[in-house]
Amino acid sequence: MEEAESKKKKAEFRLYNAMSKTVEVFEPIVPGKVGMYVCGVTAYDLSHIGHARAAVVFDVLFRYLLHLDYEVTYVRNFTDIDDKIIKRANDLGEDPLSLSNRFCEEYVADMKNLGCLPPTHQPRVTEHMENIKNMITQIMENGCAYAVDGDVNFAVDKSPNYGQLSGRKLEDNRAGERIAVDLRKQNPADFALWKAAKEGEPSWDSPWGPGRPGWHIECSAMSAHYLSFKFDIHGGGSDLIFPHHENELAQSSAASSDSKVNFWVHNGHVTNNQLKMSKSLGNFFTIRQTLQDCEVCLSPFQERLAKSGKKPVQIAGEAQTCLTKLQEEFNDKLSDDLNTSQLVTGRKFNEALKYITLNLKPLKIWQKQKQMSPLVHSIAAVGREVESVLRILGLLPTCSYDEVLQQLRERALVRAGLKAEDVVRLIEERTSARKNEKFGISDKIRADLAAKGIALMDEGKETVWKPCVPVVQGKWVGFVGWVRASVDSWVAFKWIYRFIGWFRRVTGLVDHSTSMKKQP
């Protein structure tokens, strides 16, 4: 919304709380300030679209809280030492810490490409060993953990509320189903706070001998370090509710009786639907193209629009209706558990885009005459409102439609193993075949290019090409096939990862709503 709008009284923001299993009105512990900790990635490989969804969901939450004028401290961690990291490093013959550092940097680059704002802090486990060891010591002093042969285990029997987040009963956690039973544990459900060092693995000195942290303790220690034991929001994927977040809750409570998280917030998993992905391509360009057309048509009036500043201007009634309805829908949907999908795909947002599009032709008449009119101010106002919504959602395009189309063309050529002149030559051969009524040849050229992700489009007497999803035997290749077809070029793979994230965000295919009732 406009800056003046954002200074209004904060909307009643309702957010799903996994602890209470209900949507609650969000009230921060400290008025005007929000502390948010989100579990990040284990850095042993490139991040996939599921990781992107988690990042995007909490980026939208971060942006919306900022829009509501909260001072937000957003912490998202990296697990940079872990069993998976060590195994991958051994497979590749690489130092584990070097490998995890490399993939941490790749993740940061991917998040930038997705348009996510950087968190306030991005701590790594290896940078917080003292915090972790101190918390383990406190848990042991409180009688909730025990050491055995260099390991330190948390005693779940000492946690009377264990299972309150996940709803699982302790007796339901049957040992031995996924990992071997450790007979040294007092209870098979006890989990590691500290793991004794193994030969050839990275380790750190500790009161219990050399070793490294268990998975769960790192987030408890880092959240307490940056946000204290009491903070507002703890987030992550729904798969982390048990055991990770359940164990975090238990060990943090054991370390400090003051430990409390007001809201436990989780995003669901990504699902793949090829039809929806296709729709997202179309919707993405519609928004981008509309905003660019609006900017081009308003360009002759920009100086006078800027001079008008805060002076009262005449806005058409239809435009004012668009503005009012879009503002109301924005507040209603975002304050309702971040219901972004219904906002961006909803009627009010699309009516605003439609208003701009339908009025561009009459605006061009005024453009030629270089005369101001209420229509200029009306389109400018609606355009600003649309851009404001997209900016708050992290969706405001950073480059023009033509620039994106050129990038798509370049990546499509790389994926197809062709050069631009090759496509031009094939178009000419197809045109010649059609003139000579050799339709079998012309159809084959078109089908062969479509199989490589290049679509030929006949526009009047001219044939142009645009990038498309590769087609095999008249059917769209699935999502996995599309990605695999693109890994011939590392650059192409990176581009696909970036743009799929953008496409899904723009079309609302990723529902940022955190309510578990709305999860697939």
**pLDDT: which is higher, 172 or 426:** 426
**C-alpha to C-alpha distance for 18 and 168, rounded to whole angstroms:** 13
C-beta neighbour count of 458 within 10 angstroms: 12
Residue 400 — pLDDT band, cuts 50, 70, 90?
A: low
pLDDT of 232 reads 98
Over residues 132-145, the pLDDT tens digits come to 999 999 999 999 99
pLDDT of 366 reads 57
**What would the mean pLDDT of 354-364 be, rounded to a whole number?**
74
Confirm whether pTM is higher than 0.75: no
Residue 518 has pLDDT above 60, yes or no: no
**What would the mean pLDDT of 342-362 be, rounded to a whole number?**
80
Q: Is the dihedral of CA 19, 23, 24, 25 positive or negative?
A: positive
**pLDDT: which is higher, 401 or 502:** 401
Residue 349 — pLDDT band, cuts 50, 70, 90?
A: confident
What count of residues does the chain have? 520
pLDDT of 312 reads 47
Give SS3 for 44.
coil
pLDDT of 163 reads 94
**What would the mean pLDDT of 431-460 be, rounded to a whole number?**
91
**C-alpha to C-alpha distance for 480 and 47, rounded to whole angstroms:** 15
In angstroms, what is the C-alpha Rg of the chain? 27
Residue 211 has pLDDT above 90, yes or no: yes
Over residues 145-202, the pLDDT tens digits come to 999 999 999 999 999 999 999 998 876 664 444 455 678 899 999 999 999 999 999 9
**pLDDT: which is higher, 336 or 506:** 336
Give the max Cα distance, the chain.
Answer: 89
Over residues 213-233, the pLDDT tens digits come to 999 999 999 999 999 999 999
**pLDDT: which is higher, 256 or 272:** 256
Ranked by mean pLDDT, which of 64-73, 336-345, 398-407, 444-453 comes out on top? 64-73
Residue 511 has pLDDT above 80, yes or no: no
What is the percentage of the chain residues whose pLDDT exceeds 90?
51
- The region that residue 240 occupies, defined by phi over 0 for left and psi between -120 and 50 for alpha, beta otherwise, is alpha
C-alpha torsion 355→357→358→359, nearest 10: 80
Residue 76 — pLDDT band, cuts 50, 70, 90?
A: very high
Cα 103 to chain centroid distance, Å, stands at 17
